[in-house]
A and B are shown apart, each in its own frame.
Chain A
Amino acid sequence: MIKIESLSKSFNEKKVINNLSLEVQKNEVIALLGPNGSGKTTLLNMIAGLLRPDSGNIYINNIMVNGTNGTKKVNLNPFERQIGYVFQTISLFPHMKIQDNISYGLKSLHLSKFEVKKRTSALLDFVGLREHALSYPSQLSGGQQQRAALARSLATEPQVILLDEPVSATDPQLKETFRLELKKYLQTLEITTLYVTHNLSEAFMMADKIAVIGNGHIEQVGNRAEIFDKTQSTYVAKFLGINIFEGKAVKEQNGLLLIEINGIPLMSALTPEFVGKNVTITLKPEDITLLTKEPVNTNSDNSIIGVITEIVQMHSTAQVTVDAGFPVKARIAFTTIKNLGITVGDKVYMSFSPLSLNVFSDTEKRK
């Protein structure tokens, strides 16, 4: 278990981590997701004891490793924290064979030679590097080296492991394979894990929960549905590429909430306490259907008219930007664009369910 309470750290008077709190339960895998420069590595280094926080407490398995206990300042050294750490760059000892890299930590545990050998051997098997036991790191591929680094970090049987962009050191064409391998390892291990990444799909693949880091603190923690459908911060919405609008909750109507964005009335699920207030609304691009004719059967779906300003083709989908007085992004299958025969400059109707509108009050923003 990792528990972080109001942690702060500045570099040259710039607050990189600002009053950050986060909890990772026992055997839970949490992905720490955020863009480059958001303080992910700084946070990991503080948990590992490689960097000293300016203020705040860190607990690992209920033991305070950083913080103030009464009048006593606590700052355990990295070894005492019983953690494993896989770094973003390859950090194997270049002058040692793979098996010596893996057994390095074991040798500080005062185990018998036999026990060291046995555990090293088991770890070599676990990460599938038995035939490379006598190789030097430089003879291995990026993915193999990171697997060795994982084995090395697991050797001391840590309570917690920290993974900092472990996939980034591998060759581009092997990234996906390595992700799948890592996923398998993490599932087998059942160990408290903090997995740092800037890659959204990697975060969802590896972790039970995602903590989005931004502005020096955790903007939102939750599972996939919570992060995407119940976005609670403008920052998260922007990072995930979700549409975000400012609007006003007008009144309750037919058991739904009538909101206005830029004067356009829209219906959303009812949250009575928002009535009369300024609100922030998010809408996932994939929840929008594009139509060339005004929808006839308008049960209770929202419909906005606009003009296409841009079509960007991604893999099998396309992102269509529509100007409805304010820009709205929709993601649809590329074949749909062909079938509809739409192109830039065309008039389209955007249709979406009231339930796909996520309304919240971004307190951060209104401070």
Chain B
Amino acid sequence: MAHPSINNSQDIKTKKHTNETSKISRFIDKTTIALLIIIVIIYVAFLTLPVISVFLKLDLTQISSQLQNPGIIKAIELSLYTSLIATLLSVILAVPTGYFLATRKFYGKTVIDTLMDLPLVLPPAVAGIALLYTFAPGGLLGPVFNSFDIIIPGYTAAVIIAQIFVASPFLIRSAKIGFEKQDQTIYNSAKILTGSRLRVFFTISLPLAMRAIISGTIMTWARAMGEFGATLMFAGNLPGITQTIPLAIYTMLYSDPLAGVMLSIILISISFAVIIIVKLLEQKRYGYKK
């Protein structure tokens, strides 16, 4: 209280100073936010415009005639047929493998885990070559198939093999996570209440992993439907035999652009449906009150 005037002037000085800094920092804050919004707009546009542009090419009056185009029908039939078989086989192969990897500890597990993820990041062209060098008559397993007079490349089976190869790791991954994240005490409770391992698997482990398995299955199917590179290289591009929707789009790009648009929209719709179903599955909880 001895020198109130001095104290006051000092106070004002600091206030002015802080005012100045807060002005600058507020300006920086605002600019940063503006910049952020611009980045988001550009990026969202970049990701959605291509999809929108396909829809803009769609001629509604042409839909019914396009649906009678035999090339389109064949491609749709083949894609549904191969992708559903590939998905079914993936479930049979990947769910038990996912369970095994989630519940067992063994030497070299990390190596197996990594190898299972490899097809997810492998370029499709490389996958195609790799499959050729394995299943083609001159490939690693060629002699085996030759002895049974079986040729794979160029046939529908090759499409299914290519789809399983690139798509099923999605299912292994999500099945593994589904089994892994289960509370050990829930599993232990069941083991105390029943002597049957099979019963524990089918009544506890499997139902609790079911959501992850279903969403993995859907993603696998979507990936199989969209498979292009590996199929083109390994199975070829034969209408009605190996020409699936993506291959048909590629082939029709110049000859029949409208058909390509039609097929693209089918694939886009599937992708949308998959995203929505997977999101819904992630949200669902047991015993939600209505």
In the complex, which residues of chain A have a beta carbon less than 8 angstroms from the beta carbon of B286? Answer: 94-95, 136-138
Is A91 touching B193 in the complex (CB atoms < 8 A)?
A: no
Segment of A76-84, A178-186, A301-309 in the binding face: A76-84
In the complex, which residues of chain B have a beta carbon less than 8 angstroms from the beta carbon of A153? Answer: 192
Is A104 touching B193 in the complex (CB atoms < 8 A)?
A: yes
**Chain B residue at smallest Cβ distance from A105:** B193
Question: For the complex, what is the distance from the CA of A105 to the CA of B204, rounded to whole Å?
Answer: 13
Is A93 touching B190 in the complex (CB atoms < 8 A)?
A: yes
**Chain B residue at smallest Cβ distance from A86:** B189
Segment of B95-103, B151-159, B194-202, B245-253 in the binding face: B194-202
Interface of B is mostly: helix
Q: Is A235 an interface residue (CB 8 A)?
A: no
In the complex, which residues of chain B have a beta carbon less than 8 angstroms from the beta carbon of A85? Answer: 188-189, 192
Is A79 touching B192 in the complex (CB atoms < 8 A)?
A: yes
In the complex, which residues of chain B have a beta carbon less than 8 angstroms from the beta carbon of A105? Answer: 192-194
Question: For the complex, what is the distance from the CA of A50 to the CA of B204, rounded to whole Å?
Answer: 17
How close is A76's CB to chain B, nearest CB, in angstroms? 10
In the complex, which residues of chain A have a beta carbon less than 8 angstroms from the beta carbon of B204? Answer: 93
Q: Is B289 an interface residue (CB 8 A)?
A: yes
Is A138 touching B287 in the complex (CB atoms < 8 A)?
A: yes
How close is A192's CB to chain B, nearest CB, in angstroms? 16
Q: Is B143 an interface residue (CB 8 A)?
A: no
Q: Is B139 an interface residue (CB 8 A)?
A: no
In the complex, which residues of chain B have a beta carbon less than 8 angstroms from the beta carbon of A137? Answer: 286-287
In the complex, which residues of chain A have a beta carbon less than 8 angstroms from the beta carbon of B208? Answer: 94-95
Is A93 touching B287 in the complex (CB atoms < 8 A)?
A: no
Question: For the complex, what is the distance from the CA of A105 to the CA of B189, rounded to whole Å?
Answer: 10
**Which residues of chain B in 161-198 are interfacial with respect to chain A, using CB atoms and an 8 Å cutoff?**
183, 185-186, 188-196
Q: Is B285 an interface residue (CB 8 A)?
A: yes
In the complex, which residues of chain A have a beta carbon less than 8 angstroms from the beta carbon of B288? Answer: 138
Is A91 touching B185 in the complex (CB atoms < 8 A)?
A: yes
Using A78-B188, A85-B189, A91-B183 as known contacts, say yes or no to A138 and B285 having CB atoms under 8 A apart.
yes
Is B196 touching A91 in the complex (CB atoms < 8 A)?
A: no
**Chain A residue at smallest Cβ distance from B211:** A95
Q: Is A253 an interface residue (CB 8 A)?
A: no
How close is A366's CB to chain B, nearest CB, in angstroms? 41
**Which residues of chain B in 262-290 are interfacial with respect to chain A, using CB atoms and an 8 Å cutoff?**
285-289
Contact of B191 among A77, A84, A92, A139 (CB under 8 A): A77
Question: For the complex, what is the distance from the CA of A156 to the CA of B207, rounded to whole Å?
Answer: 23
In the complex, which residues of chain B have a beta carbon less than 8 angstroms from the beta carbon of A156? Answer: 193
**Chain B residue at smallest Cβ distance from A45:** B188
Is B287 touching A135 in the complex (CB atoms < 8 A)?
A: yes
**Chain A residue at smallest Cβ distance from B193:** A105
Count chain A CB atoms within 10 A of each CB in B185, B193, B199 and give the residue with the most.
B193
In the complex, which residues of chain B have a beta carbon less than 8 angstroms from the beta carbon of A78? Answer: 188, 191-192
Question: For the complex, what is the distance from the CA of A83 to the CA of B192, rounded to whole Å?
Answer: 7
Question: For the complex, what is the distance from the CA of A222 to the CA of B242, rounded to whole Å?
Answer: 79
**Chain A residue at smallest Cβ distance from B182:** A94
Which residues of B does A touch, CB under 8 Å? 183, 185-186, 188-196, 199, 203-204, 207-208, 285-289
CB-CB nearest 3 A-B residue pairs: A136-B287, A105-B193, A79-B195
Which residues of A does B touch, CB under 8 Å? 45, 48-50, 77-81, 83-85, 87-89, 91-95, 104-105, 107-108, 135-139, 149, 152-153, 155-156
Given A50-B192, A85-B192, output 5 extra A-B contacts at Cβ < 8 Å: A83-B192, A87-B188, A87-B189, A138-B285, A155-B193
A–B pairs, 30, beta carbons within 8 Å: A49-B192, A77-B191, A77-B195, A78-B191, A79-B193, A79-B195, A80-B195, A84-B192, A85-B192, A87-B185, A88-B185, A89-B185, A92-B186, A92-B189, A93-B203, A93-B204, A94-B186, A95-B286, A104-B203, A105-B192, A105-B193, A107-B194, A108-B195, A108-B196, A108-B199, A136-B286, A136-B287, A137-B287, A138-B287, A153-B192
